[in-house]
Chain A
Amino acid sequence: MEIIQVVGIGLLSTVLILVLKEQKPVFAFLLTTATGILIFLFLLGKIGTIMGTLERVAESSGMDMIYIKTVFKIIGIAYIAEFGAQIVRDAGADSIASKIELAGKVLIMVLAVPIISIIIETVMKLLPA
């Protein structure tokens, strides 16, 4: 019943933040960030379990590790970028949050470049000159 713990932490911190926001908005922001990091760290172990299972299955079925690596990189970039953007957005800096998201998108697209190049080269070779 870990979800209860997570929701409990979330509710508690929300109440505290609501109280703090009137007195000290800076501390409210710090509390928000700390709660976010806490929940993220709590989930990190679970995500690790999923990743480990995926990796093990792929390894045992003889799948190429480069695919798994690419997929993991996508997930990592997405999570980190999303998390950072949300924290910054909570602090009220929406423009910076959108920049962080942009960086995440670009980095995910960079991962696609080698794949696209291989596919395009193959297609070009298939086509008659």
Chain B
Amino acid sequence: MTWLSDWLRELILVVLMAAFVEMLLPGKSMERYARLVLSLLVLLTLLNPVISLLKGDASSQLALAMEQAQRESGWGSGGDTGDSLQEILRQGQLLAAGSREQSLQLAAGEVAGQMQEQIAAATGVRGVNVTVALEMGRDTGGGELPVISRVAVTLPEGSSPQHAGGAEGGGAADQEAPGGRIHITPVEPVQVRIGAADAAQTAEAAASGEESAGTAETSSTAIGQQAESIVDLLVQNWNVERSRIEVKGAGGAEKS
């Protein structure tokens, strides 16, 4: 019985509203036409149960028909809706591109973190700064895949001399002994080592000039070797092209 009360209430409201609106109309000339539409509305409300029995919801059908009629009537609202649809689509594409950019940045951060860990695990150098740039590429068929477009590795300051010793295996005799200890906390002792090396260089400049020149050479070659090993590691693990990887020392730049 609820449908009956709903229907009655709707009917009463529509009739009341029609009477009210008829009084609100401005002039005599429009009155007949407006009355026709209003009486049609009342008729539709009267027929509402029958319509819902035969065809489904009357009001939703009316809304659909109204929308269609508005779209079909060429000028004004019709053109507007087309424009706004295009506008909405354009904004949607912009939003999608923005979110894709964001997800690419997130993924790049993750990849950079993993690379950093792998470099630390493989070469023992901690504090390496890795920057990864991702872009969307069409590698496999139609689907889009994120591809690593550039990797920049910046070696921490002072790591190279330590590795110079480690990589060469020999080097100076007093470099070998701390090298074994350093494995646990690598970074700080390395810096101390540079200071010590510099101090030694300044103090015993006259005494061992040739020796200091030798260490400088070994450090530069060590950076190169280290860079090579890092590039090899990244190429092997991440399947990145060699030309896209860039390894920089703290001071000079070494590029592969």
CA separation between A125 and B34, bound complex, in Å?
27
How far, in angstroms, from A114 to B64 measured CA to CA in the complex? 9
Nearest B residue to A122 by beta-carbon distance? B51
A79 close to B (CB within 8 Å): yes
Chain B nearest CB, measured from A7 CB (Å) = 18
A119 and B44 in contact, given A54-B20, A78-B25, A112-B36 (Cβ under 8 angstroms): yes
Is A22 on the interface with B (CB-CB < 8 A)? no
Q: Residue A105 at the B interface, CB < 8 A?
A: yes
**B25 smallest CB distance to A (angstroms):** 5
Question: Number of residues in A with C-beta < 8 Å to the partner?
Answer: 43
Asked if B66 and A114 make an inter-chain contact with CB atoms under 8 angstroms apart, the answer reads: yes
Contact B41 A71, beta carbon cutoff 8 Å: yes
Cα(A83)–Cα(B58), bound, Å? 34
Give complex CA distance A14, B41 in Å.
41
B61 contacts partner chain A, Cβ-Cβ < 8 Å: yes
Q: List, in ascending order, chain A residues with CB within 8 A of B29's CB.
A: 82, 85, 101, 105
Seen from chain A, the residues whose Cβ lies within 8 Å of a Cβ on chain B are 47, 50, 54, 57-58, 61-64, 66-71, 74-75, 77-79, 81-83, 85, 101, 104-105, 108-119, 121-122, 125-126
B residues near A (Cβ < 8 Å) are 6, 9-10, 13-14, 17-18, 20-21, 24-27, 29-30, 33-34, 36-38, 40-41, 43-45, 47, 50-51, 54-55, 58-59, 61-63, 65-66, 68-69, 73
